[in-house]
Structure formats: structure tokens, C-alpha cells
Amino acid sequence: MSFNIAKRTLLSSIIAASSISTLALAQQQEGFTLTPSIGYYNMDSDRDTKDDKAYSLGLGYQFNNPWAVEFVYLNADTTQSGGGNDVDVDQYRIDGLYHLPDVSPLNLTPYLAAGVGTADFSNGGNNNTLVNAGGGLKYAINDTVSLRADFRLVDDVEDHHLDNVTSLGVQMTFGGSSSNSTPSTNDSIEAYEQSYTQAEPEPAVQPPQTEQAEVINSEPVEQVQEEPMATSPMTEEAPQQPEIVAEPPGKINIQFGLNKTNVEQKYYPEIEKVAIFLKENPNSTVIIEGHTDDSGAASYNQKLSEKRAQAIAEVLTNTFEISDTRVESIGYGEERPFVENDTEAHREANRRVVAIISTSEE
């Protein structure tokens, strides 16, 4: 059976997806995924079949947590070793993917994968059960397109062959929440809130009032008009005005992709507002606090919150040259929810990064 048309369709999809991408870093979104790929199928030496190119198409769904599920169809047209007959390979898999925290600032997301399926070889071995395991890397080009490199070990359980497949593809995501709209993905939007403390000015000390004593003699005396004595004028000191400290910038929203920790360039102007305030108030400091909701494992959320807080702190110190002695980051994971995690709206409110700016007098 010929699959030339299918191959041309897959290659066209990859080229089209690459052409609409941009160079800006972006986050991946929750939604349905379409992944055309090309790769190399390395056959077990016992199969007596040549290694050859492979073409695949994956249809899946990325959940609002580290997990994704994917159905994959793979086809390879090869020949038997020694220039024999053509061998057509059709492989069908259902895979599960688990995404690890991304590698900041490279915007790479590693993932682990495993699944089951079947394979048909035209020279024998029809409907053989397969078990695969491996992993790969994703690089987000924009909010819907990612480059994806994948490696799998494929165990033919029935014929006891161990193959491997290496592929490169383009993953496109549809139907998820846009980064410009109200977020609905897990950890998709972090509210970057500003609060501060300002030293209260001490009240001005009022000079004490002098009471004038009245003296009454027991005998009548003639009242003598006294000329007023010239006194030197007293200069009244004006009360010291308290130093006015400018208010820090208002509430800022910074978006993170699913399981992402890198801060995109387009949000740097927002963080710069905080940097400007810190530079104009040299005695001020800031603490960046990372928080998540209770979706997923607590240990994973703890590390994710720490890395996101640290990412914003590094932008302040590395890009805007704020001294690292004035910037501190800490992650609380899911330990300090703003509200109960009982609705999606409440979980979104709990997914936040808070910047606490403190000022002090010299």
C-alpha cells in the first residue's frame, strides 16, 4: 500500500506550521494537539529489514496539568536486507506524556513518554503488540506552535524485537485559552501584585505653652504705665515635613505557560516599573513570593513556585541591574492559598506571584 500522498501532506503541514511561527518565546497552551513528524526508524537486526525514514501524525490533548495523551500513527516504507521485497510498516500507538519543568531561560520543556499499540509489517508480524518508552524536548516558538524532538524504544512483545524511532516534528495546539484572554489553564496566569510599607512620619512636636502668673498686692498701689520693653523677635521653626515616598507601581499581571518558569520578553516593561521604583527609592527592597493552586503533586508545585519567583528576581537583578542584596525570592507552592481551591476561579486566584516592596527611612 502506498502512502506517498500521506507523506506529502505531513511534510506540507510541517512547512506550513514553521512558516507561521515567530522568534518570540512563548508558553504552551492547554488544548487539542496536532503533531506531524518525520524521523528515522531503526529496526532490530533480527528483523532482516533495513532502517529507513518514518512519517507520523499525532493527535492528542494537553491537560491543565503536566499530563498529555496522544494517539500516533506511524508509517515507514522500507525493504528487506539484501535488496529484497518492499516492507510496509504501519504502527498505531496510544501514549501518555508527562512534562517536566522547563529549562529556563532556554524555553525548553523536557518530557517523559510511554504507551502501548500495535504494528503491521507487510512481510509478516501483523497486529503485533508494542510497548514503547522514551521522552523528548519541546521548544515553544509561539503560544500555539512548538518544535518537538522525540526518541522512543519500541518493544515488539510478540516477536521479541527491540526497535527505536527518532523523530522531529511541529506540535500545534488548538482550542486552548489564549494568553491575551482570561486564563483557564493550570498555572497559566500569575498575578504579580505589589504591596509596600511606608514609615509613618513622627508628629511634629509643639512648643509648650507658657502660663502667665498674675501677682496681686495686698496694699493698693498706683498703677504705673510701663513702657513696653523691646524684645528681640523669636523665629518660629516650621515643623519638619515628612519625606514623601512615591507609591510603588500598581498590580501587574505576568503570564506563565503550562509548567513554564521562563519570563517572556513582552512582560519586561511591566517588571521594569518595579525596577524604576527600586532605583528611585534606594532604601527599598523587594521579596518575590511564588504561589500555586493545589492541582498536581505538592512537591512539584513547591519547586514550580520557587523557580517562577526566582525567574522574576533574576530579571530584576540581571536585566535591570538591581542589586541582588535588595531582591529576595521564595516559593510557597500550594501552602498559602488566597482563597479555597474549590472552584476554577478560586484556583486561578491562588496561582500568583506576589512582590512585596518595603521602604525604610535613612
Lowest model confidence (mean pLDDT) among 24-28, 75-79, 151-155, 311-315: 24-28
Report the pLDDT value the prediction gives residue 66, as an integer from 0 to 100.
Answer: 87
Intrachain domains 4-174 and 189-199+244-358 with the same fold? no
For residue 183, what pLDDT is reported? 38
With a cut of 50, say whether residue 224 has pLDDT above it: no
Residue scoring higher pLDDT (57 or 208)? 57
Q: Which range, 44-48, 83-87, 104-108, 153-157, has the best average confidence (pLDDT)?
A: 153-157
Confidence of residue 254 (pLDDT cuts 50, 70, 90): confident
Please compute the mean of the pLDDT values over residues 304-325 and round it to a whole number.
91
Check residue 353 and give its pLDDT: 82
Neighbour-count burial for 197-216, b at 16+ CB within 10 Å, e otherwise? ebeeeeeeeeeeeeeeeeee
Q: Examine the pLDDT at 82 and tell me if it is beyond 70.
A: yes
Architecture per CATH, domain 4-174, reads as: Beta Barrel (2.40)
Band (235; pLDDT cuts 50, 70, 90): very low
Domain 189-199+244-358, CATH 3.30.1330.60 — does that match? Answer: yes
- Range in 58-67, 103-112, 295-304 the model is least confident about: 103-112
193-202, 237-246, 291-300: which range is least confident on average?
193-202
Distances (CA, A) of 219 to 102, 222, 296: 101, 10, 98
Q: 258 with 62: CB under 8 angstroms?
A: yes
pLDDT band for position 198 (50/70/90)?
very low
Domain ranges across the chain:
4-174, 189-199+244-358
Q: Is the pTM of this model over 0.85?
A: no
The rounded mean pLDDT for the chain is: 76
CA 356 remoteness from chain centre:
20
pLDDT for the residue numbered 248:
62
pLDDT at 274 over 50: yes
Hey, which of 27-31, 56-60, 76-80 has the most confident mean pLDDT? Answer: 56-60
